[in-house]
A and B are shown apart, each in its own frame.
Chain A
Amino acid sequence: MGTEKENIITVRNLVKKFGSFIANDNLSFEVKKGEIFGFLGANGAGKTTAVRILCGLSAPTSGEVKVAGFDIYGETEKIKRNIGYMSQKFSLYEDLTVSENIRLFGGIYGISSREIREKQEILLNRLGMNALRNKLIAGLPLGWKQKLAFSIAIFHQPRIVFLDEPTGGVDPIARRQFWEMIYEASSEGITVFVTTHYMDEAEYCDRISIMSDGKIMALDTPAELKRIYTARSVEEVFVKIARPDKN
């Protein structure tokens, strides 16, 4: 491996078809351990399909996929133990309290009750949600739900966390705070795989891939992409890639 960090996700010629519709057209990419990998694309570009395959929620039509060192075809159980997942819907139970959600997901990932209790204290203190522990999720503001959902997705200290459009519908300040949490997780050694269609968020990533019509059109660091496409922002890069006819 040398100076290069080891790959934690390897995708080779991944194809996913729904009938005659090709959602993922021959994707190949690697994600390195510890990096924040941005998966960009317009709605319907095939991002979510790819994430679902990487999480073992959906089987690929063909291609090779390895996540956390395990094969997607035979070892989804092992993959699931090593990943965290948060979708755009936040995946918290609205009718359970903050603490009940933590205990539920902690328990599902096989963490002992004592460890859950200890980690819950630390978590709630850090989020400043100590007073809210017995409040139902339904009563929390969106930004808080989102932070909590993320904290729960990495509660079992996964090696990779998949975030599918995690910042949909929240205000810029909450988004900013959310990205601070992502950085924090990343500094703790968790690889972050995040899909988004907010181009400003792409600037925060170590590397980004831009998808359009099921294909990966570009993949590099934000700085390098801006240089190649002579653009001032990732947004401009994206427009040049996704709608070449308009430029």
Chain B
Amino acid sequence: MKRFLGFVKKEFIHIFRDYLTMIILFGIPAILVLLFGFVISMELKNIRVGVLDLSRDEVTQKITDKICSSGFFERGKDLAGYHELGATLRGGKTKAILIFGEDFSQRLLSEGTAAISIITDGSEPNVATQTTNFITAIIGDYNRELAQTDMPGTLLVSPEVRMFYNPTLKSQFMFVPGVITMIMILICALMTSITLTREKEFGTMEALLASPLKPAQIIIGKVVPYFFLSLIDAILILLLSWLVFGLAVKGSILLLLAELMLYILMSLSLGILVSSIAKTMQQAIFVTLVGGMLPTVLLSGFIVPIESMPEIYQWISAILPPRYFIVILKNIMIKGTGLAFVWKETLILVSFTAFFIVISLRSFKTRLQ
């Protein structure tokens, strides 16, 4: 056991001393989360806003101008009536529509409060949320201005937000499960396959195999540090998305951690498998990137929904473990469901893990012959 621990310690030194490894381990995940989070959600510039103004007076004109001159929005089409709503949004150019009812200004003056309806295109959830947030903020500004004028009482314009096509915005944080799934594959599979093939390439693997350490001890000793670092990484991503984007995990944290560990184990065994095939680090990198990363990004439902893929890709996607993990994450993190809803996916991941371990043990043995 003592020799094993010394060996594990050595692997930690490798990791901490190689700044490239450290960047891949901790820099890339953080950057990816922030990048995905901000690029997807913050790209709010010249969003075209249509206006359906049935009140047509000074107040509505003022509010519209204020919104459209804010720099985030540009004035789109003026709608003639409610019947044009659907067609305008479907056209795709207009992302949001402001609606002032016929009696908007009258109400504002007589009752002191009036509502603007904001309708957004929920098929682009991040744009939609940001748009409503910004418009709401601008209207809030306007309210403050109103309060400072000498008009009697307080006037309040309250925004009423409705989203078309995706009213509950379920996929708002879809990128977080996707990023976790991708990063875990990247770190676990890529890093373990690199670290194992590096020993082969530098000839140190021979020295280890000629020592009293057993082959299983060597592999486990090299993989254990990555297990813990990946787990820390996953927690880091969860914390980041919570602190920066306000995504709180809805389901059980314990279940989430358990599933994370399972997925890490699966990715590590995939990395071991790759290293038993690859002779050089380049090969290992190539195999994990092309065989692991790309399909994860493209076919696991991270970017393109599986339901909208051509059938053949759906079949390919079925043999990709990340696909199941994304489902698990979505369920636990966003829907807040328990094991009862993800046991099937969990079982599939367990089988993948077992499969990878058996195959890599076998190929490791034949290589020794």
Give the interface of A toward B (CB within 8 A): 52, 55-59, 77, 80-81, 83, 85-96, 100, 103-105, 107-110, 162
Contacts and interface: CB of A to CB of B under 8 A. Distances in A.
The majority secondary structure among interface residues of chain A is: loop
6 contacts: A57-B210, A57-B368, A85-B211, A93-B14, A103-B6, A108-B3
Given A92-B204, A95-B18, A96-B10, A57 B3 contact: no
A83 B210 CA distance: 8
Nearest to A116: B6
A213 B33 CA distance: 58
B313 interface: no
A71 B206 CA distance: 20
Nearest to B17: A95
Nearest to A94: B202
Contacts, number: 76
Interface residues of B, number: 23
Interface of B is mostly: helix
A104 B6 contact: yes
Interface string B12-52: 01100110000000000000000000000000000000000
Contact of A95 (B2, B13, B207, B210): B13
A82 B206 CA distance: 16
A180 B18 CA distance: 36
A114 to B, nearest CB: 13
B13 A100 contact: yes
A133 B210 CA distance: 25
B13 A96 contact: yes
Contacts of B6: 103-104, 107-108
Nearest to B206: A87
A89 B3 CA distance: 23
A100 B17 CA distance: 13
Given A95-B18, A109-B212, A104 B7 contact: yes
A81 B210 CA distance: 9
B212 A58 contact: no
